[in-house]
Amino acid sequence: MATIKKEEYPVKDNGFEYLGKHYDCHHAIERDIKMILQEAETSHKDNFDEFYDRNTLRPDKIRLYVDGNNIPIFGMIIYLIDYKKENYSRSACGGYYKFEFDNSVLLPHPYQESICW
């Protein structure tokens, strides 16, 4: 059975570095932010804008799942959003993305979607 490891790396400038290679997450971030805000408005419609500054939603890190050869299989970007009245943030997670095209492009996973709020 193949060994899959979970690792986390910071997301900066809409991408991240893994083993000396840059991965662009621009499209995944755009998609996730739209879906996270949509889910938050659905589940917290009455108080979302009262408690959270939607303009602060930003990518923080990526959780990578890599095989035994250190090849990324899929990943999930973890986001932060600031509270308006508090001096701290909370997390939200994006969807699962698989790596395609020489492992440099993140594409939505066909069977796994996980927007958590």
Instruction: Say if 60 falls within a structural domain.
Output: yes
Domain limits at 30? 5-101
| Percentage of the chain exceeding pLDDT 70 | 83
Over 70: is that where the pLDDT of 55 sits? yes
* Residues 76, 95 contacting (CB under 8 angstroms): yes
Instruction: Say if 116 falls within a structural domain.
Output: no
Q: Please, is 86 exposed, middle or buried when counting C-beta atoms within 10 Å of its C-beta (0-12, 13-18, 19+)? A: exposed
| Percentage of the chain exceeding pLDDT 90 | 49
pLDDT score recorded for residue 15: 93
Instruction: Say if 77 falls within a structural domain.
Output: yes
21-24 vs 58-66, strand pairing mode: unpaired
Instruction: Say if 117 falls within a structural domain.
Output: no
Over 80: is that where the pLDDT of 100 sits? no
Q: How many domains does the chain have?
A: 1
Instruction: Say if 79 falls within a structural domain.
Output: yes
Rounded-to-integer distance, Cα 117 and Cα 114, Å: 10
Instruction: Say if 113 falls within a structural domain.
Output: no
Region 11-32 average pLDDT: 92
pLDDT score recorded for residue 46: 82
Over 70: is that where the pLDDT of 106 sits? no
Cα–Cα separations (whole angstroms), residue 69 to 14, 66, 98, 109 = 25, 8, 16, 21
- Note the pLDDT tens digit of each residue in 27-45: 889 999 999 998 888 888 8
Instruction: Say if 106 falls within a structural domain.
Output: no
Q: Which residues contact 37 (CB under 8 A, 6 or more apart)?
A: 54, 57
